[in-house]
Structure 1
């Protein structure tokens, strides 16, 4: 038996767990080998201490206090779970397809254009007192451009519209006069006809001038004045 085999068998040898033949072999090796004998003595001393004082060595002093400390350490190391934050309501985002976006932008462009045209018309509309008497020289560059585009009326168009409105009023009062004419005396009819001939001659004169030269602002003003006189004359005689 060598030293390694002997030392591995020392513990069961001391506990009397070896077979007699093997125990004799270990005993014989220990008698011859001082190193193994010293190891055997050390192990035997340890066994002796364990048998005599083992209970005192294995039982820790103040066991309840020790376990309380261990429990406190364990509890301090266990972290409570983090609080669960309530879920925030998700914001709803409108999602549009590409055709829908294109249609929306087109509608916005159309509405914007309509408001622009309406604003230009309102801004460029002349006042009622001078609506039919504005000349081309008073027309701004913007008004000329918008007039060519057909967005606003040109001074010539506004003046023609003004004369047409005057003519409608004259036709109305002329019809009223025709109903009352039979009740007039001879002098009243002669006075009315004489004034109407003078006015009609002036109307024809200035109308012909404007046909030849639509830019003649003076003739336009005179025609407006004559038509106003004719309308007032008819109104006055319609009450007779």
Structure 2
């Protein structure tokens, strides 16, 4: 193992186990943190996250110490996980990166559990909503056990939501050599949906539930109007070409 790889591996170990390591060294000022201690702390942290914190393999943003108060961008019931970062994709990718540096099987299992939470919350439109609620599946057109044609089916690119989920799934799919069928299928489904949702000029909307009609979005030279209102026009902007958070 090269010196740089060794340093990177130890840095990652120390980062993931930091909360537990603080408790281990609080009473021993100046105590050296060894790789063995970091590995032990990382496993403790992972076991706690997967057995006590996660919902169906997924995660929110914040939890109180007793886990009674749970939040994503807002308060959430125990049945809900968040896709928008720093939710499920962020935690899953941390597990994956730790596995790639250590080879510990329990970390890969945790990453796969997070990925399956996303697979089970993928919409028929191809991407993801800000959150997934496992107790309210009929309200959304999830690809797996979702609601009917009148249920919500809007993929959001706002706040890096679908992009973060897809980025994590792509990395994990590659790590698994494209052999995990549900994860690979969800990854390709999302990629194809994003390509179909792309406008003729190369941009994307903030949200979509179906591919755009090219006739409605002709490619024209960029320009500014001679004048424009300084007040919000109160129009729906979800299908506008969007730069923010995309």
- With the shorter chain as reference, the TM-score category is under 0.3
Q: Counting strand residues as a fraction of each chain, which structure ranks higher?
A: 2
Q: Which TM-score applies when normalising by structure 1?
A: 0.21
Select the structure of larger CA radius of gyration: 1
TM-score (structure 2 length as normaliser): 0.21
